[in-house]
Amino acid sequence: MKRNAAYDLNALRREFPILDREVYGHPLVYLDSAASAQKPRVVIEAQREYEAHFHSNIHRGVHTLATQATEAYEGVRSKLTEHINAARREEIIFTSGTTDSINLVAGTWGRANLNSGDVVALTRLEHHSNIVPWQILAKEKGFDIVVIEIDEDGSLCEESLKAALSRSPKLLCVSHVSNTLGTVNDVTRITAQAHEVGAVVLVDGAQAVPHKKIDVRDIGCDFYAASGHKMYGPSGVGFLYGKAELLEEMPPWKGGGEMIQTVSFEEETTFNVPPYKFEAGTPHLSGVIGLGAALDWINSVGLDKIAEHEEALIKYASERLSEIEGMRLIGTSKDKASVVSFLVDGTHPSDIGTILDQLGVAVRTGHHCTEPIMNKLGIPGTVRASFAAYSTFEEVDALVAGVERAVKMLR
Ligand code: PLP
């Protein structure tokens, strides 16, 4: 059933300049927000304003521009602290995105704490960026990786979770929302269960932050990672939340400027305090400023309202797509966010994606950087439509009409 968004959807769409463009003579129907969301004008403008009027390197300067840039950059750290309800601003590290954040945890906490005989638990739902860093480190350190399996509907298998926890993992990694199946994991409960057996918990929040209110203290996790470009912000910027007591103990990762206290050839080099210990070199300054603008924008619309609208879109899209003969929805767990993945009998996902593109409909096809899910389900990939605050029911209709047309052409 179509339900009006709890905000003025047309007015909101006008804030996104890109949504005006055409592809192959058709109005753009952008259903690939899980890969990268589009940016409202305020984000684009905030970056431009920074570059045009107060760009300067941060922290090190005494001049006016350096002070203004530093204040703006550090202001976003405070904003993000509040946005995800971290206890202290020192718990927020700016990174280049989720991938970078997870590699940071692997390269510091992981390298310092994981050894031969240890166990790391990963779910089958993880994006490659929450699998491969652990596989690389496992090869170096000799620890075991245990996989928490999924059920047919794409939800985590409770028995498998129990079995993994019975091996007392030192670390459990879980995505908050699956980018391929849309499954929302109960990360608060899973964190509590993992803590009972002494595991540190890393939550990949890349697909959750654009769609849900995140409260890291309520979740209780030790680390939480996300990317700016999936939350209406710039690419090349993201963050890692880490509990202060863990960050303080962790050795540095990348070496360079800003992450040191003193550097000497004669005495031992000493390191800065978190978060600066983990922010070597000049960061993506305009990216962080843009991320701050994206947070303001999200809050001005309201995550609750965005979630409600997206939930209605998922429901409508699932119902409409199911009317197509041979349709197979992939990922049907009860609690879902943001994405609808599917296959149609007798067709290949990439052929459907190519035909949809010619109709102006942008979807993603393939394994979505989650090959282990494809292996488990025995499928080559899926067509994935993903939604954001600006998505409309009419766009779902365009998707359905496009898939119907593609299926006719391909069968
Ligand atoms: N984790 C999940 C669940 C994702 O969907 C993605 C990107 O699609 C990533 C991690 C990697 O994010 P990034 O490429 O921004 O580092």
Residues 300-329: tens digit of each pLDDT: 999 999 999 999 999 999 999 999 999 999
Fold of 44-300: Aspartate Aminotransferase; domain 2 (3.40.640)
pLDDT at 3: 74
pLDDT at 284: 98
Long-range contacts of 81-88 (CB under 8 A, 24+ apart): 83/214, 83/295, 83/299, 84/209, 84/214, 84/215, 84/216, 84/224, 84/241, 85/214, 85/215, 85/216, 85/217, 85/218, 86/216, 86/217, 86/241, 87/217, 87/244, 88/244
Q: Which CATH superfamily is domain 9-39+302-410 in?
A: Aspartate Aminotransferase, domain 1 (3.90.1150.10)
- Going by pLDDT thresholds of 50, 70 and 90, the confidence category of residue 4 is confident
Q: b vs e for 72-87, b when ≥16 Cβ sit within 10 Å of the residue's Cβ?
A: bbeebbebbbebbebe
- Going by pLDDT thresholds of 50, 70 and 90, the confidence category of residue 1 is low
157 among known catalytic residues: no
Question: Which amino acid is located at 50 in the chain?
Answer: Y
> Strand, coil or helix: what is 8?
coil
Q: What pLDDT, in 10s, does the model give residues 338-369?
A: 899 999 999 999 999 999 999 999 999 999 99
Q: What pLDDT, in 10s, does the model give residues 212-231?
A: 999 999 999 999 999 999 99
**Atom number in ligand 1 closest to CA 100:** 16
DSSP 89: G
β-pairing verdict for 200-204 and 223-227 = parallel
pLDDT at 337: 95
Residue 98 Cα to ligand 1 middle (Å): 6
Give the distance, in angstroms, between the CA of residue 316 and the centroid of all CA atoms in the same chain: 24
CA distance 169 to 372: 20
Residue 303 Cα to ligand 1 middle (Å): 20
Q: What pLDDT, in 10s, does the model give residues 54-98?
A: 999 999 789 999 999 999 999 999 999 999 999 999 999 999 999
CA distances (Å), 107 to each of 101, 103, 118, 392, in order? 10, 6, 16, 41
pLDDT at 60: 79
Q: What pLDDT, in 10s, does the model give residues 251-300?
A: 999 999 999 999 999 999 999 999 999 999 999 999 999 999 999 999 99
Summary count for the chain: helices (H), strands (E): 15, 17
Instruction: Tell me the HSE value of 120 on the side-chain side, using a 13 A CA sphere.
Output: 29
**Atom number in ligand 1 closest to CA 35:** 8
pLDDT at 61: 81
Q: Say if CB 33 and CB 338 are below 8 A apart.
A: yes
Residue 176 Cα to ligand 1 middle (Å): 12
Instruction: Using most ligand atoms within 8 A of CB, pick from 98, 130, 341, 370 the residue to mutate for ligand 1.
Output: 98
Predicted TM-score of the model (pTM): 0.98
Question: Which amino acid is located at 110 in the chain?
Answer: G
What residue owns the CA closest to ligand 1's atom 7?
35
Q: What pLDDT, in 10s, does the model give residues 368-405?
A: 999 999 999 999 999 999 999 999 999 999 999 999 99
Q: Which residues form the pocket of ligand 1, taking CB atoms under 6 Å from any ligand atom? A: 35, 97-99, 127, 129, 175, 179, 204, 206-207, 227
Burial class (CB in 10 A: 0-12, 13-18, 19+), 116: exposed
β-pairing verdict for 361-362 and 26-27 = unpaired
Query: What is the number of other CB atoms lying within 10 angstroms of the CB of residue 129?
Result: 20
Determine which one of 157, 173, 221, 369 is catalytic: 369
Question: Which amino acid is located at 298 in the chain?
Answer: I
Residue 133 Cα to ligand 1 middle (Å): 13
Domain locations in the chain as residue ranges = 9-39+302-410, 44-300
Indicate if the pLDDT at residue 331 is higher than 90: yes
Mean pLDDT value across residues 24-53: 98
Q: Say if CB 174 and CB 190 are below 8 A apart.
A: yes
Instruction: Using most ligand atoms within 8 A of CB, pick from 32, 95, 99 the residue to mutate for ligand 1.
Output: 99
CA distance 231 to 234: 8
Residue 3 or residue 169, greater confidence = 169
Helix axes 303-322, 393-410, angle to 10 degrees: 30
385: which 2 tokens?
């439509």
